[in-house]
Amino acid sequence: MASVHESLYFNPMMTNGVVHANVFSIKDWVTPYKIAVLSLLYEMSTTKPMALLDRRRLNKLILPIQQGPDLTLEQFLKIVEECCLRMVNAVKLRLFLMADGELQDMEHFFTMLPNAFSDSEAFKTSVVGLFMRQMLLAYNKLSFSQVYKLYKSLQQYCRRGNQPELSAEDMELTSNEDPSADRIDKDELDTASLHQSELRSDETRGPLSQKQAEYFLARQAYLLKNDENKAMSPAKLQDELNNILKFNPDFAEAHYLSYLNSMRVQDIYISTHSLLHYFDRLILSGGEGKSNGDEGYGRSLRYAVLNLATLHCRFGHYQQADLALQESIRIAQEANDHVCLQHCLSWLYTLEQMKGSDSVVLTEDSVKIAAHFCLPYLASLGIQSLVQQGAKQGMPANKLLDALRGTDIMHWKQSLSELIEISLAQTTSIWRMYGKSTMARQQAQLLLNMNSLEPVNFGVQQNNTEAFAVTLCHLAELHAEQGLYAVVSDIMKHLKQQFPPHTQHAKLWMLCDLKIQFEKAMNDGKYHLADPHVTAISALNSTEGLYRKAQLLKALNQTTKASKILKQLQQRCEKSKNTEMIIRMMLASAELHWDSATGFATAVPLLLQALALSRQHNLQSLTSETLLHLAFTQLMLGIPEQALVLVQDVLESVLAHGSLIDKGRALLLAARCHMALAGAAAQEHRLTAVELAVHTLDEAAVYFSQLDCKERMRDIHYLQARLHHSLGNISQRNKCAMLFRLLDQELPSSGMTVVNRL
């Protein structure tokens, strides 16, 4: 028989180094590790008196150790020891009796192995029985020289504590299948040095059977989808995949896993290369000359082009994605493949959304067709996309939530847990956008505490999806708005553990963390700390970065530069139809008008425009903020009565759903309105108005102190000192004046005083 090394060079099935035969034609072979597993199974069957809990643990261990890669003896015994200490000693004794004895001892073990299971029905039908019969068949087909080399390998395995790296020639075996099947070549055995699991070290790579290889790939692919944090690191996994593809370039599943792994690190070259090779190999292995229909390489071609389109969408290559989608649609129409056409339509409206175009008509058509062909998943995604677009266009919340409630019923009926998560995360985002922070927190807690999700394979709970990342980021921002930075730190720590920096959803918490740190630095008046955050935010989101940069420049009194950036931001937001950012940009521009020579009057039209836009889109939080800006403008224009009316209109909403900084600003503005009215009031009403202003300032000071907002506290103490002076409270006046002086000496002069700042 020719050696496996020789077959690498004289394989008639090879052309230009590419193997066209099935490299995994052999199903299983005998290794020292497999002998250790057989010893465990033999001892379990012959040891009758065993604790029920120990037997249960061992039964749960059988399938993983059969399907997983080969382990060293030390690793194997450690796993067994965790289940049953007594069994470890029995297995170790049997292995060392064979290793320290003679060749006939190993031969005797394989001879008496079937006797322990001969009377058991499980030997004929169970996974354990199938595994043992495969091992016996593989062992019986070995020649004497191969048996001798296997025995020597067993001795090294037991004495050194780790598995020797067997040469392919030593392990030259025959297939367990029909003898006429494809003969074994070097690639069939060198695929054994594939991938290592988390339990193996680099030095213990051994041959893997077909089942072990499939188990490894399926496990890593599933972990990448559901719990990326528990999967192998990108570099380590790619190294294992390269080992697979080095000796088996036609292994299609390995190419696809390489594609998924490359997407984790945003590697456009390797991901495109792997995706194309995956479908090439899939067509070569599964095609039977069919260009149409539901089977054959015609179907593979359709979905190959569709996957290529999604890849370009992911990297923002919209023109290439559009061309790939049109090609996929054409092929699907020729094949009359309605399911593929529906997937294409779903990605078509997604692509239009990415470009910033109106895709409502396409989305509605997609939902109707998906419902017609009974595709609930795609129909639900379309409805959720319509809800998202409706929220941006200002649709009332009741209509949007009714639509989501209808889809939720379908999700629970169909057990679509992934869509349930997306729906709850989207509801959280909608309430947050509308300014209902209490409802947003409630929906976030519903998702995080939902106990009805089924645990998926490999002990993974579906808590590493994008929906959970979005919800946790919302919770972090909501807690930061209330000044609970210790809680924010805990949430961020959890996010960093669940979504490490190399994972695809890590960008969400990175941006969230940077925005929180920026707002905290701005509230503290530490602008030198806020500047680095602006650069980092711009790297993740250019629009958010421009807005934060304008805020920082405005705080530093660089109004000209801030105005230029706001104009640039306005052009970008109008193009992308980002209504929320447009309103924020208008408010920032109005604040620049306050500091300009044109005065407060020029800010009124801009604020009225922002107010109309926020009310049109039902953005309550921005509406309240705009009314506060308008009230401050009226106060500065000498209309305190109208300003107080506006403040009182929004005060309830701000205190119920607003952040601490918004609550403090609203109360501070209300106190200033009372002060202005007290100056023009009659003598009998003046004292009451001043006392009301003092009480309101005390409430505002509570909110600002929780945020440790020293600049605002300085303004509060200044106003309190003046009010106590007018009331004749000398001791309180001196106390507030001293606090003001301490803060004024500590803080740098910003040029923005309580007179011209909201």
Average pLDDT over residues 42-69: 80
Q: How confident is the model at residue 575 (pLDDT cuts 50, 70, 90)?
A: confident
Rounded to whole angstroms, the Cα distance separating 504 from 228 reads 9
Quickly list H helices, 556-619.
559-576, 579-595, 603-616
Q: Residue for token digits 């001196």?
A: 734
Share of the chain above pLDDT 70, in %: 82
- 321-331 pLDDT per residue, tens: 999 999 989 98
| Better-predicted residue by pLDDT, 401 or 627 | 627
CB 73 within 8 A of CB 204: no
> Looking at residue 559, what DSSP letter applies?
H
Residue type present at position 184: I
- 251-283 pLDDT per residue, tens: 888 888 999 899 888 888 898 898 888 888 877
Quickly list H helices, 161-209.
186-190
22-36 per-residue burial string, b: 16 or more CB within 10 A, e: under 16: bbbbbebbbbbbbbb
Rounded to whole angstroms, the Cα distance separating 538 from 529 reads 15
The DSSP line for 418-478 is HHHHHHHHHHHHHHHHHT-HHHHHHHHHHHHT---SPPBGGGB-S-SSHHHHHHHHHHHHH
Average pLDDT over residues 699-723: 90
- For residue 501, what are its two tokens? 């920096």
Nearest to 88 by CA among 46, 42, 31, 40: 40
CB 672 within 8 A of CB 719: yes
- 499-552 pLDDT per residue, tens: 888 777 889 999 999 999 999 999 888 888 999 999 999 999 999 999 999 999
Strand residue runs (E) in 225-361 = none
Residue type present at position 35: I
- 144-192 pLDDT per residue, tens: 888 888 888 888 888 865 443 444 344 444 334 443 333 333 333 333 3
Nearest to 592 by CA among 577, 574, 570, 618: 570
CB 625 within 8 A of CB 646: no
CATH superfamily of 210-438: Tetratricopeptide repeat domain (1.25.40.10)
Nearest to 37 by CA among 82, 75, 86: 75
**Dihedral angle of Cα 148, 151, 155, 158, to the nearest 10 degrees:** 160
Q: What is the mean pLDDT of the chain?
A: 80
CB 581 within 8 A of CB 545: no
What is the number of other CB atoms lying within 10 angstroms of the CB of residue 500?
12
- 123-148 pLDDT per residue, tens: 667 778 888 888 888 888 888 888 88
pLDDT score recorded for residue 189:
30
Q: How confident is the model at residue 24 (pLDDT cuts 50, 70, 90)?
A: very low
CB 627 within 8 A of CB 404: no
- For residue 83, what are its two tokens? 């289940």
pLDDT score recorded for residue 219:
86
Share of the chain above pLDDT 90, in %: 26
Rounded to whole angstroms, the Cα distance separating 350 from 363 reads 8
142-157 per-residue burial string, b: 16 or more CB within 10 A, e: under 16: beeebbebbbbbbbbb
Residues of the chain with CATH 1.25.40.10: 210-438
Burial of 368 (0-12, 13-18, 19+ CB in 10 A): exposed
Query: Coil, strand, or helix at residue 144?
Result: helix
- For residue 449, what are its two tokens? 């505490």
- 596-635 pLDDT per residue, tens: 767 788 889 999 999 999 998 888 999 999 999 999 999 9
Beta-carbon contacts of residue 129 (< 8 Å; ≥ 6 apart): 117, 120, 122, 123
pTM strictly above 0.85: no
Quickly list H helices, 708-755.
710-727, 730-746
Look at residue 242 and tell me whether its pLDDT is greater than 90. no
